Structure 1
Amino acid sequence: MTIFRIDEMKKSFTNGDVEEQILKGVNISLKEGEITALVGASGSGKSTILTIAAGLQQATDGDIVFEGQYLTNMNQEQIRKIRSSDFGFVFQSAHLVPFLTVKEQLMLMLDVSESKLKKHSQIAEVEKILKLVDMNHRKDAYPSSLSGGEKQRVAIARAIIHKPKMLFADEPTASLDSKRSKDVMLLIRDLTKTMNITTLMVTHDEDMLGYADHVITVKDGLVVK
């Protein structure tokens, strides 16, 4: 079932007196429990598609539809609530809070997402998710003591702790070596399937495309394949 749709998305920037069109009418449909990868040359518009779809910036024109709701008709507070409750984010860098332990990183995310779980239930949920990503044994560790792969596992755990329906991943393996990249993609794929998450991912690494259900090529602001 289609859960997320982008219709005729356009994005322009004004550079002095010149208007530059970054996206020229992008159409994408995403189904539950599937990974869709966006690929293309640098500057093709793939990261712009991701950030607009995730509600992190606004399109110039077009519609973004999530579960029948038109995000393009919502105000910033309504979009913020959807981002915090239904969307999860993984970026190239883990962006962990340096003074929080692994467990505290996830507890903070539950607070941000306004989880209705009581504190003891939150702790149990955190440990459950950390076990899923094989990081419960490091729950009391600080980011400075974690490897790059471990940091990204924690970032993924933090992105899914509130059980989002959508996961947006921007170059999630770019800072990792080939083995850790494979481990992270296996984890994203397994979580996408077992938790029925819809994942939209930007990548430049062709070795990662085998983990995606669909691959969309973006060129000069248009979907070409």
Structure 2
Amino acid sequence: MTVFTINEVRKTFINGEVKEEILKGVHLTLKEGEVTALVGPSGSGKSTLLTIAAGLQSSSGGQVIFEGNNITNMNQEQVRKIRATKFGFVFQFAYLVPFLTVEEQLMHMLDVSETTLNKREQKKEIDKILKLVEMDHRKKAYPSSLSGGEKQRVAIARAIIHKPKVLFADEPTASLDSKRSKDMMTLIRHLTKSLNLTTLMVTHDEEMLVFADHIIKMNDGRISQSTV
């Protein structure tokens, strides 16, 4: 089932008298239960495309259709609500709150997503997700005591605790070594399949492409190649 349709999306930045077209009419579709990887050289537009799809910045033209609704026509509050309830985010760094335990990180995310679960149900859901990412034994730990790989596992748990439809991953393995990178992508792929997520990932690491169902190569603001 198609969850996202990105239709002829453009993005232009204007700096004084200089106009720079970052995206030049990009079209792609994203389906549930699949990992789509965006690859390409720096400046090719892949991170810009991800942030536009995620509603983190506006496009200069085109449409972003999510579950049949055109995000580009929504106001800021409508887009914020979709991000909080339907989208999950994982970045190069975990960005964990230093004074919150692992369990509290996820509790905070549930609050942000305006969950209807009571506190007992929230704790039960947190235990379930932490077990899924193999971090249940560290739920009382603070970020300062976690390894880089453990922090990213917590970041993934935080990204999916509210049961989003879409997972956006921007260079999720860039700060990890080769083994931990493969472990992380194995986890992301497993969660995509088992939870029926739609995952859009930006990566520079071509070794991670074996974990993707679709590979979109970008160059100079356009899709240069799409492979399955």
Determine if the TM-score, normalized by the shorter chain, exceeds 0.5.
yes
Distance 1:139 1:40 in 2: 37
What is the alpha-carbon distance in structure 1 between the residues aligned to residue 145 and residue 176 of structure 2?
Answer: 16
> 1:26 maps to what in 2?
26
Q: CA deviation at 1:15?
A: 1.6
SS in structure 1 opposite 2:186?
helix
Correspondence for 1:14: 14
Cα distance in 1 for residues equivalent to 2:89 and 2:5: 18
Q: Tell me the secondary structure at the aligned position of residue 62 of structure 1.
A: strand
Match of 1:182 in 2: 182
| Matched AA of 1:134 | E
**Matching residue of 1:194:** 194
CA distance in 2, matches of 1:176, 1:5: 31
Superposed CA deviations along residues 74-130 of structure 1, whole A, max 9, x for unmatched, are 000000000000000000000000000000000000000001011100000000000
Whichever residue aligns with residue 51 of structure 1, its letter is T
Q: 2:92 maps to what in 1?
A: 92
Residue in 2 aligned with 1:155?
Answer: 155
- Displacement of 1:181: 0.3
Are 2:62 and 1:68 equivalent residues in the alignment? no
Provide the residue aligned with 1:123 in structure 2: 123
**Distance (Å, rounded) in 2 between the aligned partners of 1:5 and 1:224:** 18
Deviation at 1:16, TM superposition (A): 1.4
- Aligned twin of 1:59: 59
Distance in 2 between residues matched to 1:178 and 1:20, nearest whole Å: 35
How far apart are the structure 2 equivalents of 1:140 and 1:3? 36
TM-score (norm 2): 0.98
**Structure 1: unaligned runs, 5 residues or longer:** none
d(CA) in 1 for partners of 2:210, 2:61: 32
Amino acid at match of 1:50: L
In structure 1, distance between residues paired with 2:119 and 2:195: 23
* Distance in 1 between residues matched to 2:13 and 2:72, nearest whole Å: 18
For 1:60 and 1:51, how far apart are their aligned partners in 2? Answer: 13
Distance in structure 2 (CA, Å) of the matches to 1:68 and 1:94: 31
Counterpart of 1:101? Answer: 101
Unaligned runs of 5+ residues in structure 2 are none
- d(CA) in 1 for partners of 2:119 and 2:194? 25
Cα distance, 1:18 vs. partner?
A: 1.4
**CA distance, structure 2, for counterparts of residue 118 and residue 20 of structure 1:** 49
TM-score (norm 1): 1.00
1:132 corresponds to 2:128: no
Measured in 2, the distance between the counterparts of 1:147 and 1:8 equals 41
Give 3-state SS (helix, strand or coil) of 1:111's partner.
helix
